[in-house]
Structure 1
Amino acid sequence: MSKTPLTLRGAEQLRVELHRLKTVDRPNVIAAIAEARSYGDLSENAEYDAAKERQGFIEGRIAEIESKLARAQIIDPALLDAEGRCVFGATVDVEDQDSGEQATYQIVGEDEADIKAGKISINSPIARALIGKFVGDIAQVQAPGGLREYELLDVRYE
C-alpha cells in the first residue's frame, strides 16, 4: 500500500468531513430509511429507494476517506526545509514566459486540489514540472495548447 501525500490542512478537512458523515449524515439517513419503511410496501417505495441509495453513497464515502487517511503521508509545509527547492506542500509564484502573467499556487494532494483557491494537484502537469526546481529556473509544461514555460519566482513553505 503506497503512501499518498496530503498536507496537514487537507488531512484536517478530510477528518472534519468524516466526522460529519458519521455523526450527522449517517444517523439522518438511517432515520429516513426507518420512516420510509413505515409507509409499507417496499417494492414501490421511492422514498425507501432514495434513502438506501443515499446510505450507500455515505457508507462508500466514509470507507474512501478512512482509506485515504490510513494511506496518507501527512506533510506540514511550515516544517519543510527544502532549501528553496519546489516540493510537495510548497507555495510558489510563477510567471508565464509567453504572456507575462503571474500566478501563485500551492502544490497539494489530489483531494485538496482547487484551482480557484490556487491549490494544484501534485499530479498536475505544472506541479510535476515545478517539483525539484529552484527560484529562477524555467519549468516546461506540455499543455493542451502546446509547450508552455514558467519561471519560478518564489518558493515558500507556509
Structure 2
Amino acid sequence: MIKVPLTVLGAEMLRNELQRLKSIERPSVIAAIAEARSHGDLSENAEYDAAKERQGFVEGRIADLEGKLSNAIIINPAEIDAEGRIVFGTTVDLEDCESGDAVTYQIVGDDEADIKLGKISVSSPIARALIGKSAGDVAEVQAPGGIREYEVLDVKYI
C-alpha cells in the first residue's frame, strides 16, 4: 500500500471524521432505511433508494478513512530537524517576487489541505517547488498564468 503522509492535526481530523461517521451517520442511515422499508413497496420507494445511496457513501468514506489511517505516516513538524530546509509539515513564509505579497503556508497531506487555512498539499505545484529550499532561496512555480517566483523568507517547524 502507498503510505499517506499526515501531520498530527491532520490525522486527528481524519480520526474525528471516522468516529462521527461510525457513531452518528451510520446509525442515522440504518434508521432511515428501516423507516423507508416500513412504507411498503421498495420498488418505487424514493426514500429507500436515497437512504441506500447515502449508506453506500457513508460506508465508502469509512473504508477510505480506515485505509488512509492504517497507511498513514504521522509526522510532527515540531520534531523535524531538516536544518532549515522545507520538508513535509513545515510552515513557510513566502514573498511573491513580482507583487511583493507575503503569504504563509504549511505543507500538509492531500486530505488536510485547505488553502483558506493556509495549508497546501504536498503534491501541489507550489509545495513541490518549495521542497528542499531554505530561507533566502527563490522557488519557481509553474502556475496556470505562467511561471511565478517566490522568495522563501522563513521556514518554521511548528
**TM-score normalised by the shorter chain: which range applies?**
over 0.9
TM-score, normalization: structure 1?
Answer: 0.99
Residue 23 (structure 1) aligns with: 23
Residue 136 (structure 1) aligns with: 136
Could you give the per-residue CA deviations for residues 49-106 of structure 1, whole angstroms, max 9, x where no partner exists? 1100000000000000001111111101111111111000000000010110000000
Q: How many residues align?
A: 158
Which letter does structure 1 place at the counterpart of 2:9? R
Residue 150 (structure 2) aligns with: 150
Could you give the per-residue CA deviations for residues 25-52 of structure 1, whole angstroms, max 9, x where no partner exists? 0001001100110000000111101100
Alpha-carbon separation, structure 2, partners of 1:47 and 1:142: 48
Alpha-carbon separation, structure 1, partners of 2:65 and 2:59: 10
Q: How does 1:16-95 map to 2 (within 5 A)?
A: 16-95=16-95
Could you give the per-residue CA deviations for residues 134-153 of structure 1, whole angstroms, max 9, x where no partner exists? 10000011111111110000
Which letter does structure 1 place at the counterpart of 2:132? G
Please report how far the alpha carbon of residue 2 of structure 1 lies from its aligned counterpart in structure 2 after TM superposition. Answer: 2.1
Which letter does structure 2 place at the counterpart of 1:93? D
Percent of matched pairs sharing the same residue: 73
Alpha-carbon separation, structure 2, partners of 1:88 and 1:13: 17
Alpha-carbon separation, structure 2, partners of 1:2 and 1:54: 28
Q: Over the residues paired in the alignment, what is the CA RMSD in angstroms?
A: 0.6
Query: Where do 5+ consecutive residues of structure 1 fail to align?
Result: none
Query: Where do 5+ consecutive residues of structure 2 fail to align?
Result: none
Q: How does 1:2-17 map to 2 (within 5 A)?
A: 2-17=2-17
Residue 116 (structure 2) aligns with: 116
Alpha-carbon separation, structure 1, partners of 2:57 and 2:3: 25
